[in-house]
Amino acid sequence: MSSICSAMSAGISMASRRPTWLRMRNMAETLLRSVGDGAPAPTIAGVIPYLSDEWFEAAANAIAASTELRAASDGVNLTLQQSVTDGDEALVWHVHFADGEVGLHRGATPSPTVTFSCDRATAEDIRNGEHSAQTAFMAGRLRLGGDVRMLLANSALLSTLNDALAPLRS
């Protein structure tokens, strides 16, 4: 999900000194940036279009292969769900952290801990740095639901998630 990662890299004690709205903005930006952008992302295997079947497969593989992410999720039970609407279509996926096990799955989960939803243009604007997640949230373009405290408490985990997905953005 990478300004959130930058903020999270400073550590939870440093992050806790920031106002809640700033921590929320940074976390939302990390999640949105971690899913790629509107432009094709070059990879070892070639070019993978953003949010395509191939992109989801590559993202799931990157998450599954990250020993750092598994270690960071030890003792954590958290599910982040993202929904991006594109016309009449809704692209929904979730990342589930369960005590050292991590997986990215397409589709909704029955009980997400935290949800993020926006339209594709908003996701791409945030991902590309054209707008901040805070601006999108304040304008009603990015919606956040669920247990925000769990999101804040696991900011370092989101930073590690962002690192695991970085190859899809390069």
Return the closest-CA partner of residue 82 out of 37, 117, 111. Answer: 117
Q: Backbone phi, then psi, for 5, in 5-degree steps?
A: -65, -40
Model confidence pTM above 0.85 = no
Strand partners, 101: 98
Domains, the chain, ordered by start: 3-168 (3.30.1050.10)
pLDDT of res. 13: 41
pLDDT of res. 168: 78
> Helix or strand or coil: residue 89?
strand
Tallying the residues shown for the chain, one arrives at 170
pLDDT of res. 112: 98
pLDDT of res. 17: 56
Tell me the C-alpha distance between 84 and 42, whole Å. 22
**CA quadruple 62, 45, 5, 114: dihedral sign:** negative
Judge contact between 115 and 145, C-beta under 8 A. yes
Can you list the alpha helix ranges (DSSP code H) found in the chain?
A: 3-9, 12-15, 20-33, 53-65, 67-72, 120-127, 133-138, 148-153, 155-165
129: left (phi over 0), alpha (psi -120 to 50) or beta: left
Kindly give the parts of the chain with pLDDT less than 50. 1-15, 36-45
pLDDT of res. 134: 76
pLDDT of res. 62: 95
pLDDT of res. 162: 83
Compute CA distances 16 → 26, 34, 68, 98, 138, whole Å: 13, 23, 23, 24, 21
pLDDT of res. 15: 46
Question: Could you identify the residue written with the tokens 């700033």?
Answer: 22
